[in-house]
A and B are shown apart, each in its own frame.
Chain A
Amino acid sequence: MNLYEYEAKRIFQDHGISVPPSVRITKPEELRKVHLGWPLTLKCQVLSGGRGKAGGIKFPKDLNEAEAIAKDLLAMTIGGSKTESLLVEPRLSIARELYMAVLLDRSAGCPVFIASAEGGVEIESSHNVIMMPIPHPYHDFVGRDLAKKLGLSGGLLTKVADVANKLYRLFESKDLDLAEINPLVITAGEDVIALDGKITVNDDSVNRQKYFQGWQEKHLSDLSPLEQRAKMADLNLVELEGNIGILCNGAGLTMATMDMVKAFGGEPGNFLDVGGGGDQKKTLTALEIVNDNPKVQVILLNILGGITACDEVAGALVQFMEKHPERTMVVRLRGNNQEKAEQMLAKSGLKLYPDLEDAVKEAVAKSKAKQPVGAKA
């Protein structure tokens, strides 16, 4: 779950990391009550990246200009994410910018600090990036080591070390995937301030973090409506451009099925993994979600039962076909309780393909068949 900048900064502040004074607004006229001096900084609050490049940050010189700009910014959509509000801050006098983040590194198998003495830039394109594995249990000297590696000394070394220590502790206590400050600015008066922040909460951990209870629904604006529905039903959906709706159990098999559809000349319309152990109700929800994608002409259901019981899937299929008898389906079902599933489906007239390659070829052929045109009843 990605958080908005203002939420990330509130968390930084709660953990003792300094952020600029700010006001959050949802209407341009609210700027009249803001007294942070001029010029101001107006920043779109979106869940996607690339905000600066997209023109989502502006520095108006006076109230007239600010209100006009605020109106435009509030209407912006950046990278598929609608602007939720604007964060209004004074423009700081910056002496230096750093980059600092904590994230879980899969190669190292543990959380790491990523830091750079050049902040404000895209970290991928920076050459002086420090990567430092974080030991467990954690001690404060780790932050000092990092500040030293950044080439800092004197009062700044301890101030930046303090930010690093606080950033790691909030990363751990809040179960984050990413806690990033970019840039971490050093003002003319040697104050160390998080000018921009990004926090990604680990999706598997949200339920044990009381602080984030109920947050998920309002943090889905970077997903399509169908992807949002899937997420709330605990299903993994990625929408694609083609017309074959793919529904499988297990991420690897779903990807493999998608790849095969493409390899045999078809176009996948989505990736939908119902997960292991999907029961009848969850499978039915998944079928309805794929069915509601207007681009999808053929649904290819591929279930290889390990945990998943084929009869549960068959139950969902029978229910689905009663409701949508017109839907073109290709079904591959194999595994646990397969005979029982075959008996259940025999009445519905659905042909079952035990072999995946045959099923994929059939789905591709059906997706290319001409749809009946002008068949007015």
Chain B
Amino acid sequence: MILVNKDTKVIVQGATGKMGSAHTKRMIDYGTKIVGGVTPGRGGSDIHGVPVFDTVAEAVEKTGATCSCIFVPPYLALDAGFEALAAGISLIVLITEGMPPNDTAKLVAAVKAKGAKLIGPNCPGIITPGESLIGILPGSIFKSGPIGMVSKSGTLTYEIGLALTDGGQGQSTCVGVGGDPVKGLEYPEVLTMFENDAQTEVIVLIGEIGGNAEEEAAEFIKKNIKKPVIAYIAGQTAPPGKRMGHAGAIVSGGKGTAASKVAAFEAAGVKVAMTPNEVAKKVAEARKTPAKA
């Protein structure tokens, strides 16, 4: 497993909002060590049995939290992220969708300068099955096992998670890095963590059209990753010039096509699956074949 386990102490920024509250409860029910919530002006109260604090600094001081899951509205996300960083949070999971990209760029720069880690924005979060769920993923889909998963998508991660679990392939950790053009953790960092993780045997990478992160990941895998990687690219039939939901999912000027990404992966020795069920099949095949020397 990577990044989070059953001992990871998590606070929720925006825990008393509609979405924050609902998911705080689901995370607690899953077994995640939620130690508090933060809502300015609501300090001293509690939610789903955990204390609410006015500031992240106070929450960290009283609970020893190292991770914050952020559910605040898009225009407050930059401030919430800076507050978490200033309080010494080392892992920020930013669920919020619709954060202005110029804000994201500023937060990403600050996170890097501080040596912290950011997952998201516009992401489903992270799950180490049976240990910790931070975000909005449906916990029941995932089971513990040797497959590491990194994805730009939310629901597609659930779909492929479902196919893996149904096929008897449990997961070490699944990281939803989000579909925005500028984001915190990117493929290479997560791939490296899986490469160094004893539990992970096979890595599943879920990408989509737009940008060149998949091409860069392919290059990175060729040089640095020995464990087998199975890739899936969404948007093979997307028309050029149209933004397919995610802010980053657009083929423009002939760049960012699924074909270019598939070709890059194949050239790097990465098997590419064409459907979610095929991902599960290729994972099973990869586990039967001996690992690369």
Residues of A bordering B, CB below 8 Å: 104, 106-107, 109-111, 124, 136, 172, 175, 177, 202-205, 207-208, 236, 238, 240, 248-256, 258-260, 262-263, 268, 271, 273, 275-277, 304-307, 334-336, 356-357
Contacts and interface: CB of A to CB of B under 8 A. Distances in A.
Interface in B167-185: 179, 181-182
B101 A306 contact: no
A12 to B, nearest CB: 19
Contacts of B105: 104, 109-111, 136
Nearest to A227: B242
Given A110-B105, A306-B138, A259 B277 contact: no
B218 interface: no
A328 B154 CA distance: 28
Contacts of B156: 250, 252-253, 255-256
5 contacts: A110-B182, A255-B234, A271-B242, A356-B159, A356-B276
A258 B106 contact: no
B99 interface: yes
Contact of A259 (B237, B245, B246): B237
Interface of A is mostly: mixed
Interface of B is mostly: loop
Contacts of B289: none
Given A109-B182, A357-B277, A253 B159 contact: yes
Interface in B246-263: 246-249, 253
B138 A136 contact: no
B144 to A, nearest CB: 19
Nearest to A238: B242
> By CB atoms of chain A within 10 A, which of B99, B137, B235, B243 has the most?
B235
B149 interface: no
Nearest to A248: B155
Given A136-B106, A208-B75, A250 B154 contact: yes
Contacts of A104: 101-102, 105, 181-182
Interface stretch (B41-49, B189-197, B207-215, B221-229): B207-215
A255 B101 contact: no
